[in-house]
Structure 1
Amino acid sequence: MSQQVAYSPFDPEVMADPYPVYRDLRDHAPAYWSPEASSWVFSRYEDVSAALADPARYSSASGIFPTPPGVDMTELFLPMLIMSDPPRHTQLRHLVSKAFTPRRIAGLEAHIQTLVDDLLDQTPEAGPWDFVSGFAGPLPAIVIADMLGVPREDRDRFRTWSTTLIQSNPTRGEFGAGLDAAAALYDYFAAFLAERRAHPQDDLMTALVQAEVDGEHLPEEELLGFCLLLLVAGHETTTNLLSNSAVIIAQHPESQRQLVDNPNLVPAAVEELLRFDSPVQGLARTLTRQTTLHEQTMEAGDTVLLLFGSANRDDHAFPDADHFDIHRAPERQVAFGRGIHFCLGASLARLEARIALMALLTRHRDWDVDLDSSIRLRSGPIRGFASLSFQ
Structure 2
Amino acid sequence: MRKESPIYYDQNIGACNVFLYEDVKRVLSDKETFSSRTQKPQSSLSKTLINQDPPKHTQVRSIINRSFTPRVMKAWEPRIQAIADELLQRMDGKEKIDIYKDLAHPLPIIVISELLGVPSEHIDQFKAWSDILVSSPKSSDKEDMKEFLATRAKTEKELAEFFQGIIAEKREKLGDDLISILIQAEEEGLKISEEELIPFCNLLLVAGNETTTNLLTNTFFTIMEHEGVYDELKNDLSLIPSMIEETLRYRSPVQVLRRRVAQETTLGGQHLQKDDIVVVWLGSANRDENKFEDASIFDIRRKPNPHVAFGHGIHFCLGAPLARMEATIAMTAFIKKYSSVSFSEEFTLDPIENSAVYGLRSFPVNVTN
Whether the TM-score (by the shorter chain) exceeds 0.5 is yes
Aligned-CA RMSD value:
1.6
Deviation at 1:178, TM superposition (A): 2.3
Q: Does 1:386 align with 2:353?
A: no
Deviation at 1:372, TM superposition (A): 4.2
Q: Deviations over 1:223-257 (max 9, x none)?
A: 11221111111111000000111100111122211
Q: Retained in 2: the 8 A contact 1:165–1:179?
A: no
Q: Retained in 2: the 8 A contact 1:31–1:41?
A: yes
Structure 1: distance between partners of 2:96 and 2:150? 34
What is the one-letter code of the residue matched to 2:108? P
Q: Retained in 1: the 8 A contact 2:38–2:258?
A: no
Equivalent residue, structure 2, for 1:7: none
Which moves more between the two structures, 265-274 or 372-381? 372-381
Equivalent residue, structure 1, for 2:125: 157
Select the residue among 338, 342, 346 that pairs with 1:364: 338
Equivalent residue, structure 1, for 2:62: 94
Q: Retained in 2: the 8 A contact 1:116–1:139?
A: yes
Q: Does 1:52 align with 2:28?
A: yes
Structure 1: distance between partners of 2:342 and 2:271? 47
Equivalent residue, structure 2, for 1:377: 352
Select the residue among 157, 162, 171 that pairs with 1:197: 171
Structure 2: distance between partners of 1:240 and 1:258? 22
Which moves more between the two structures, 175-184 or 191-200? 175-184
Deviation at 1:124, TM superposition (A): 5.3
Equivalent residue, structure 2, for 1:139: 107
Q: Does 1:229 align with 2:196?
A: no
Select the residue among 272, 291, 302 that pairs with 2:265: 291
Equivalent residue, structure 1, for 2:227: 253
Structure 2: distance between partners of 1:36 and 1:369? 38
Q: Retained in 2: the 8 A contact 1:130–1:389?
A: yes
Equivalent residue, structure 2, for 1:21: none
What is the one-letter code of the residue matched to 2:306? R
Equivalent residue, structure 2, for 1:76: 43
SS at 1:373 equivalent: coil
Deviation at 1:54, TM superposition (A): 0.6
SS at 2:158 equivalent: helix
Structure 2: distance between partners of 1:33 and 1:330? 32
What is the one-letter code of the residue matched to 1:36? N
Structure 2: distance between partners of 1:139 and 1:359? 13
Q: Retained in 2: the 8 A contact 1:250–1:366?
A: no
Q: Retained in 2: the 8 A contact 1:168–1:175?
A: no
Deviation at 1:312, TM superposition (A): 0.3
TM-score norm. by structure 1 comes to 0.88
In structure 2, the CA distance between the partners of 1:175 and 1:388, relative to structure 1 (3 Å rule), is: farther
Structure 1: distance between partners of 2:107 and 2:35? 33
Percent of aligned pairs with the same residue? 39
SS at 1:378 equivalent: coil
Select the residue among 266, 275, 287 that pairs with 2:249: 275
Equivalent residue, structure 1, for 2:317: 343
Deviation at 1:139, TM superposition (A): 0.5
In structure 2, the CA distance between the partners of 1:107 and 1:325, relative to structure 1 (3 Å rule), is: same
In structure 2, the CA distance between the partners of 1:369 and 1:186, relative to structure 1 (3 Å rule), is: farther
Q: Does 1:129 align with 2:97?
A: yes
Structure 1: distance between partners of 2:276 and 2:96? 47
In structure 2, the CA distance between the partners of 1:75 and 1:388, relative to structure 1 (3 Å rule), is: same
TM-score norm. by structure 2 comes to 0.93
Q: Retained in 2: the 8 A contact 1:165–1:177?
A: no
Alignment of 1:204-223 (within 5 A): 204-223=178-197
Q: Retained in 1: the 8 A contact 2:23–2:268?
A: no
Structure 1 gaps, min length 5: 1-24, 64-71
Deviation at 1:186, TM superposition (A): 1.3
What is the one-letter code of the residue matched to 2:106? P
**Aligned length in residues:** 358
Equivalent residue, structure 2, for 1:62: 38
